[in-house]
Amino acid sequence: MSPAPAPSTGRWPRPLVAVDVAAFTVLESDLKILLIERGLAPRALALPGGFVRCGDVVVDQGEDLEAAARRELREETRLEDGLIGQVRLRQVGAFGAPDRDPRARVISVAWLALVRPELAAFVRAGSDAADARWVRVADVEGFDLAFDHHRIVAACLARLRRDLWEGDVARELVPRAFTVGELRGVVDAVVGVPGDAANFRRRVRGLVEDGVIVEVPGHRVTARRPAQVYAFA
């Protein structure tokens, strides 16, 4: 709810509040997640993230949760402001189990981010990160992640798969212009197993009829037969 006895002062012990971002992309037909190697404290692989800025708490209450997530993503990946602005963030939930960070009570709000493959190439380590790299989701469980980040990744991944079709998640993982085959490749990568190409095409045709996707003049010239190019409306 909110304070009542002790408003601004902080008579009770307060937790730290952080944001963590699970950024996904599709590269080389594989669903990948962005992990950073922490430059500080527990030197392990982790999701990009950090503490929410609270200002001085009296005249300035600081930044929004989403703004914090976007800022952390920007700082640790060195993606420019303009590029990060294109990335939409979805809140997945708060993780606040008591000893998730043994050093202090930290409650973390997890965010899901979808990054276009074109942008994904630009990420490089920044600020608190010693390294930043895209890791195959299939390989993640083999890694040793900091804190409860394995749980957070699992939750974000579930959310991503759940919202694949509704909530136009796929649109944020393909280049602006794409062929049906490319879109199918992305969806297959997210789902994990390939689906029927014919049915997929039908589904896309439905989206075209609904105006969600529009046909774009050109044709993509591939190694094989050229395909019609589309774009999200």
Partner DNA sequence: ACAAAAGTGTTCTAGTTACACCCATGT
Partner DNA sequence: ACATGGGTGTAACTAGAACACTTTTGT
Q: Rounded to the nearest whole angstrom, what is the least distance from the CB of residue 225 to DNA in the complex? A: 3
- Provide the 3-class DSSP secondary structure of residue 226: coil
How far apart are the C-alpha atoms of 23 and 135, rounded to whole Å? 11
From 178, 65, 175, 42, select the one nearest 120 (Cα to Cα). Answer: 175
Is the CB of 54 or the CB of 216 nearer to its own copies?
54
* Contact yes or no for 159/92 (Cβ under 8 A): yes
Backbone angle region of 62, left / alpha / beta, with phi > 0 → left and psi within -120 to 50 → alpha: left
Binding mask 97-136 for its own copies (x = CB under 8 A): xxx-x-xxxxxxx------------------x--------
- Of 34, 73, 79, 146, which lies in the binding site for its own copies, with binding defined by CB under 8 A? 146
How far apart are the C-alpha atoms of 211 and 80, rounded to whole Å? 31
Q: Rounded to the nearest whole angstrom, what is the least distance from the CB of residue 98 to its own copies in the complex? A: 4
Is the CB of 153 or the CB of 180 nearer to DNA?
180
Q: Tally Cβ neighbours within 10 Å of residue 192.
A: 11
- Provide the 3-class DSSP secondary structure of residue 26: strand
Q: Rounded to the nearest whole angstrom, what is the least distance from the CB of residue 113 to its own copies in the complex? A: 14
- Of 34, 38, 179, 186, which lies in the binding site for DNA, with binding defined by CB under 7 A? 179
- Is there binding between residue 167 and its own copies (CB under 8 A)? no
Residues near its own copies (CB under 8 A) = 1-5, 7-8, 10, 12-20, 38, 40-42, 46-57, 61-65, 72, 91, 93-94, 96-99, 101, 103-109, 128, 146-147
